[in-house]
Structure 1
Amino acid sequence: MAVTIKDVAKVANVTPSTVSRVISNSPRISEKTKRKVRQAMEELGYLPNFKARSLANRSTQTIGLVMPNSTDKVFQNPFFPEVIRGISKIAHSMEYALHISTGETEEEIYEGLVRMVQSGRVDGVILLYSRINDNVMSFLEEKKFPYTIIGKPYLNSDEISHVDNDNFSAAKEVTKYLLKLGHKRIGFVAGSLNLMVTLERKRGYESALLDSDITINNDYIVHEEFLREGGQEAISELLSLKEPPTSLVVADDLMAFGMLNTLDEMGLRVPDDISIISFNNLLLSEVSRPPLTSVDINIYNLGLQSAKCLIEKIKQPDEPAKRIIIPYKVIERNSCKKLS
């Protein structure tokens, strides 16, 4: 026999109307009561009828944003405020609000997404990352809930709406740029191998080396968090090698900033002692010392197009999936040097 709102109300010792208000995330209900009702829902295995509620309420006019990490880490990286700025531009023009979900672990991120969808708080979701074998994406697919990804889906990319750069080509281009400057010992620093952006850029880097008949040295490939501290740890590891690289492809400007700080403390100079080229072309890239050569991936437009894509999906559920590739541009500055 199906579990009803009355069953949940009985276990939580509240009225059925209170359960309904918790499901709709009413601000009139205290957080303590919300937790008690949600715990009862979980114990009973109760799932609200979202389709029926959507028909009754028409729309929440809210978009959910799912972050790849906790807020204290996510907002250290200027990529996320900038991509949210692009999303906000479209959301505001279409009278949509934003609801942000984060978590310390993949499990917490998944649980937050499930609560957000099951409570009927949002009409659709934008994932601000793309992971391999992601439970969040699997849940959204199973529920046939509208969503868009910033990044390339791991599987079935033709069937899932997403907005991305051609990260393979961009990484290959900047690696070839260093090769033309005479560098052969080229390192690669990026984030987790669970992230598609890392895999695509690593693939491009390796392709450029293989095209030039250069053997891939796994000691030159380092994976850290997309944070300043990640760059600091990566450069320390690479410089401890018996024969360290003469140049680096770094998958995030924030990591590169961390490298510049560490190199300065060690008395080493960019580009005289090591050349660095990175990604994102953040505002600080232009004013860092030295100014960083960086790939402008047009972060703002990634956000803007993802919001457009999602709202179209919400309004026209039967529309086919869209694949939007945002052009990139290499901005040359002073962090790379030709080897004599």
Structure 2
Amino acid sequence: MSVTIKDVAKRAGVSPSTVSRVLSNHPRISHATSEKVREIMEEMGYHPNMMAKSLVSKTTKSLGVILPKPAEELFLNTFFMELIRGIVTQANRSGYDVVLTSGASEKEEVDAVSRLVFGGRIDGAILLYSRQNDPVVDFLSDKEFPTVLIGRSEQHANVLSVDTNNIEAAADATRHLIQLGHRRIGFVSGPSELVVSLDRISGYRQALQEAGLPLRDDWIVEGEFLQESGYRAMSFFMNLPERPTALVVVDDIVSFGILRGLHELGYKVPDDISIVSFNNIALAELSTPPLSSIDIGIYHLGYTASQALIQAIRGDDHALLSQRHIVPHRLIVRESSMFSPPHTES
């Protein structure tokens, strides 16, 4: 016979309603009582019937996380794993589970999200990316479903967002290279439909304009957030008649591909070319050479997004609900950008 709330209450010497409040993390239950009841639940092997609980409360205690397309990119870039770690940590602390979903096309994404929403399987959604003219954001906004976007939406000002000031971050990365004396600075971008790519290119261009340096389209290469994109970009740059002496790269993983390509071609970093990247993942300081990178607080982005969504679901009156929340960034200078340009600089 399965253990019931009444069995737990009897063993703990409290009422069944007190056990229910412990399960829902009610603030009026003391820490001591909560700990005692939870220990007894564990001893007795009690597991709450979450489906029945959700029918009564009309909540699922679950958050939906929409992964980027294509989903395989998620497992090749530790940025997303760190983002999810921040989301899950805050969700679990608040008593929420996390449901992941994705789709191979925009239609599949909308279908997957609509099944979660109309099926009553989640209380809110977090998007790990921000695209221009995104039908998923259109759908969630139209349904007025609690949503947090990691990034920003150009079409929906009402959607809660947690973001880095990517324009200023890219400008800071570019200014660092300019201060070292570089005048030929290239940019390796992510997909142009992503707002983060557009913002970082904008910051790069802004810093060049401030310094009176030329804006050259042939020094901007677009790709995916994958090593292979960096590898291909490096081959392109090294075949130019006049190539950059420094690069701003949209993502650390892309930079690893650039480093591999340079090594195979016999070039050295930073002697022949300097690199500044983004995200400051754990592997950035372990690469050869260690990468200079903009730390955007990946874990904090995920944690704050989860926190903001739960506050929205609960209807809390909090500052996060009324503004686009910006997580501060900082430049971490390492060996990949510690020298002035090579002597061939004109």
Instruction: Give the TM-score category using the shorter length.
Output: 0.7 to 0.9
Amino acid at match of 2:340: K
Q: Residue 120 of structure 1 aligns with which residue? A: 120
> Runs (4+) of structure 1 moved beyond 6 Å?
none
Alignment of 1:35-184 (within 5 A): 56-157=56-157, 159-184=158-183
Q: 3-state DSSP class of the match of 1:162? A: strand
Q: Per-residue CA shift, 1:162-216, capped at 9, x if unaligned?
A: 1001111110111111111111111111111111111111100001111111121
Conserved 8 A contact 1:309-1:322: no
Q: Distance in 1 between matches of 2:163 and 2:259?
A: 28
Q: 3-state DSSP class of the match of 1:208? A: helix
Q: Per-residue CA shift, 1:77-124, capped at 9, x if unaligned?
A: 001110111011111111111110112222322221122212111000
> TM-score, normalized by length of structure 1?
0.81
Q: Residue 325 of structure 2 aligns with which residue? A: 324
Q: Residue 7 of structure 1 aligns with which residue? A: none
Conserved 8 A contact 1:130-1:154: no
Q: Distance in 1 between matches of 2:194 and 2:71?
A: 18
Alignment of 1:150-299 (within 5 A): 150-157=150-157, 159-299=158-298
TM-aligned CA distance change 1:141 to 1:318, over 3 Å: farther
Q: Residue 23 of structure 2 aligns with which residue? A: none
Q: 3-state DSSP class of the match of 2:235? A: helix
% identical aligned pairs? 43
Shift of residue 55, structure 1, vs aligned partner: 7.2
Give the paired residue count: 287
Unpaired stretches in structure 2, ≥5 consecutive residues: 1-52
Amino acid at match of 1:75: F
Unpaired stretches in structure 1, ≥5 consecutive residues: 1-52
Shift of residue 57, structure 1, vs aligned partner: 4.7
Q: Distance in 1 between matches of 2:324 and 2:55?
A: 29
Q: Distance in 1 between matches of 2:328 and 2:308?
A: 17
Q: Distance in 2 between matches of 1:104 and 1:232?
A: 25
TM-aligned CA distance change 1:96 to 1:54, over 3 Å: closer
Conserved 8 A contact 1:68-1:109: no
Q: Residue 26 of structure 1 aligns with which residue? A: none
Conserved 8 A contact 1:163-1:302: yes
Amino acid at match of 1:170: A
Q: Distance in 2 between matches of 1:202 and 1:55?
A: 48
Which structure has the greater CA radius of gyration? 2
Conserved 8 A contact 2:296-2:327: yes
**Worse-superposed segment, 107-116 or 138-147:** 107-116
Shift of residue 321, structure 1, vs aligned partner: 3.3
Shift of residue 130, structure 1, vs aligned partner: 0.6
Q: 3-state DSSP class of the match of 1:330? A: strand
User: Structure 1 residue 333 and structure 2 residue 308: aligned?
Assistant: no
Q: Distance in 2 between matches of 1:230 and 1:111?
A: 30
Q: Distance in 2 between matches of 1:215 and 1:263?
A: 24
Conserved 8 A contact 2:141-2:156: no
Conserved 8 A contact 2:169-2:203: yes
Q: Distance in 2 between matches of 1:177 and 1:94?
A: 40
